[in-house]
């Protein structure tokens, strides 16, 4: 009986993990990025939104491109090193940006 309960809770944690990662990308984006990029826009430079057309024009094709921008941004954007936003967090934000803003 005890073992069964334990197994069930381990399973619950495992199956909850991917959903949690998705939530955390969205949450991290809200915390760090949405101030300047509400709805994937850009309040400082309207030509540099997070929508696919602009990203592709600037050679940002996947989450790695978004992370590269966070690590080495252009004029006006805050720089986020691995202390401010860890690599796994940065990946989650990058994946969120690519899948959310078409
Ligand atoms: C203080 C305002 C500000 C914050 C906060 C900010 N950005 Fe930016 N972002 C900018 C500006 C200004 C640019 C245009 C300059 C450039 O290309 O770096 C930009 C550009 C970008 C681009 C390139 C867009 C394009 O079309 O080429 C990406 C991707 C991006 N930001 C992602 C993020 C992410 C992810 C975060 C949060 C971790 C974030 N930004 C936080 C201001 C901000």
Alpha carbons within 13 angstroms on the beta-carbon side of residue 26 total 10
Q: Check pocket membership of 73 for ligand 1, CB cut-off 6 A.
A: yes
**Least confidently predicted of 18-32, 52-66, 86-100:** 18-32
The pTM assigned to this predicted structure is: 0.85
Centre of ligand 1 from the C-alpha of residue 44, in Å:
9
Nearest CA to ligand 1 atom 15: 74
Question: Is the confidence at residue 85, as pLDDT, over 90?
Answer: yes
Q: Where are the alpha helices (DSSP H) in the chain?
A: 2-32, 52-57, 63-71, 87-100
Q: Which residue has the higher pLDDT, 8 or 32?
A: 32
CATH of domain 2-100: 1.10.760.10
Ligand 1 atom with the smallest distance to the CA of 65 is 29
Domain residue spans of the chain: 2-100
Q: Which of 26, 48, 30 is nearest to 38 (CA)?
A: 30
Cβ neighbours for 22, distance < 8 A, ≥ 6 positions apart:
92, 96
Residue 73: strand, helix, or coil: coil
Q: What is the pLDDT of residues 7-30, one digit of tens each?
A: 665 555 555 555 555 459 999 999
Distance CA(39)–CA(50), nearest Å, equals 9
């Amino acid at each position: 009986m005890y073992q069964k309960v334990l197994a069930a809770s381990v399973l619950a944690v495992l199956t909850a993990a991917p959903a949690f990662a998705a939530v955390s990308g969205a949450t991290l984006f809200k915390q760090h990025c949405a101030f300047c990029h509400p709805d994937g826009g850009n309040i400082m430079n309207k030509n540099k939104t997070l929508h696919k057309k602009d990203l592709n024009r600037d050679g940002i094709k996947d989450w790695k491109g978004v992370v590269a921008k966070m690590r080495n941004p252009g004029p006006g954007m805050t720089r986020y090193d691995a202390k401010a936003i860890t690599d796994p967090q940065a990946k989650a934000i990058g994946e969120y940006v690519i899948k959310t803003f078409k």
